[in-house]
Amino acid sequence: IAINLTGKIALVTGSSSGLGAAIAKYMARAGAKVAVHYRSGKDRADAIVDEIKNDGGFAMAFYGDVSKKEDVQKLFSEIDSKLGTVDILVNNAGIDGKRELVGEDDPDDWEKVIEVNLMGPYYCAREAVKRMKPKKSGVIINITSVHEYVPWSGYTAYSSAKAGLSMFTKALAQELSDYNIRVVAIAPGAIKTPINKDVWGNPESLKDLLNKIAMPRLGEVDDIGQAAVFLASDLASYITGTTLLVDGGMALYPDFKHGG
């Protein structure tokens, strides 16, 4: 059995780094033409495009801030004219924001996290749906987090946005079920990327983090890339409106691992 996305056009938001870059590479390896999307650092997006091309794939870089609906509309029209209409949307762009306790925080910071992590995927899905409905075909993958399930003190905006994105996944999947458009989510655990470098880059916090995972390792970006191509492919054609945890058992209450 092989995963084959030949003929598909995939947009992966925030794919100039981290999980997005890996997802873009896996989509291209499976044969899709990939829109590598970035908000800052065009050079890094171009480097991912070059990597994909050197690997025999097809990719182009596109700019846009997902929290601005005008940017998102422009992003999709540019992809329309340069690649064709999007068949696979991966809503990956996200921020975790800074650690702030409610009441001692700045509401603008809370709003920013919601704008990028929840409004962004909505704006992108909205544009994708307009293009997928007439084709009666499409897949939308939302990158949530274990924090769609696991509360995270100091990161109430992040946890709320990811839980919201999970429910958006389900409600939209229901809405699109007659159109052969699947909507799914991937909830990563702790994956080694720039977003959490300060945690895995420090031996003490790394030890603390490993204690929170049932399997004895952090996740790698490939773990997420592989899950994404599977969900985007026809091998997953009966999967919609659900979240796939890719977390090495982080959500399994690992403190109970040794009984007691």
Residues forming contacts to ligand NAD in the complex (CB under 6 A) are 13-14, 16-20, 39-40, 65-67, 92-95, 116, 143, 145, 188, 190-191, 193-196
Q: Which is nearer to ligand NAD, 180 or 196 (CB)?
A: 196
- Tell the smallest beta-carbon distance from residue 132 to ligand NAD (Å): 21
Q: Which is nearer to ligand NAD, 89 or 143 (CB)?
A: 143
Q: What is the DSSP letter of 9?
A: E
Burial classification of residue 207, based on how many CB atoms lie within 10 Å of its CB (0-12 exposed, 13-18 middle, 19 or more buried): exposed
Both tokens of 141, joined, read: 């993958």
- Tell the smallest beta-carbon distance from residue 188 to ligand NAD (Å): 4
- Tell the smallest beta-carbon distance from residue 48 to ligand NAD (Å): 10
Q: Which is nearer to ligand NAD, 149 or 230 (CB)?
A: 149
Catalytic residue list contains 63: no
- Tell the smallest beta-carbon distance from residue 112 to ligand NAD (Å): 9
Q: What is the DSSP letter of 101?
A: -
Nearest residue to 25 via CA among 220, 218, 236: 220
DSSP 143-171: E--GGGTS--TT-HHHHHHHHHHHHHHHH
Contact 229, 30 (CB under 8 A): yes
- Tell the smallest beta-carbon distance from residue 197 to ligand NAD (Å): 9
Q: Which is nearer to ligand NAD, 33 or 39 (CB)?
A: 39
Both tokens of 27, joined, read: 């989509």
CB atoms within 10 A of CB 46: 16
Distance of CA 116 to the CA centre of its chain: 12
| Catalytic pick among 26, 38, 123, 158 | 158
CB atoms within 10 A of CB 131: 18
Q: Which is nearer to ligand NAD, 133 or 222 (CB)?
A: 222
Nearest residue to 146 via CA among 131, 165, 133: 165
CA distance 50 to 194: 20
Q: Which is nearer to ligand NAD, 87 or 148 (CB)?
A: 148
CA distance 200 to 205: 7
- Tell the smallest beta-carbon distance from residue 218 to ligand NAD (Å): 8
C-alpha R_g of the chain:
18
Catalytic center residues:
158
